[in-house]
């Protein structure tokens, strides 16, 4: 059974490669923040909160990768007529 697309996935269809790369960068920045917070929580001994931040970071990484993939796909479609 297919999952419903996320907001980011729905929005990628109307975005330019530049916009997709910008969104990917924003997701990477958010992932970085959550990884840093997870590290702080591990250091303080709060494994549960660390795990929560690590999971959030992973979600941002997945979204960034999706944005990157869509940007590359749009570029390829534009510059390789066989991709259409």
The residue assigned the tokens 């916009």 is 19
φ, ψ at 80 (rounded to 5°): -130, 100
Would you state the structure tokens that stand for residue 39, as one six-digit string?
């590290």
Contact predicate 46/53, CB 8 Å? no
CA atoms of 48 and 64, how far apart (whole Å): 25
What does the alpha-carbon distance between residue 18 and residue 8 come to, in Å, rounded to a whole number? 15
**Predicted confidence (pLDDT) per residue in 4-63, tens digit:** 566 655 554 568 999 999 999 999 999 999 999 999 999 999 999 999 999 999 999 999
- Here the tokens at position 74 are 């749009």
pLDDT of residue 1: 45
């Amino acid at each position: 059974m297919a999952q419903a697309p996320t907001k980011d996935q729905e929005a990628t269809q109307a975005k330019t490669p530049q916009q997709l790369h910008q969104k990917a960068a924003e997701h990477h920045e958010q992932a970085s923040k959550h990884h840093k917070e997870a590290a702080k929580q591990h250091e303080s001994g709060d494994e549960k909160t660390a795990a929560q931040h690590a999971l959030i970071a992973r979600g941002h990484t997945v979204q960034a990768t999706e944005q990157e993939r869509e940007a590359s796909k749009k570029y390829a479609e534009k510059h390789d007529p066989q991709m259409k």
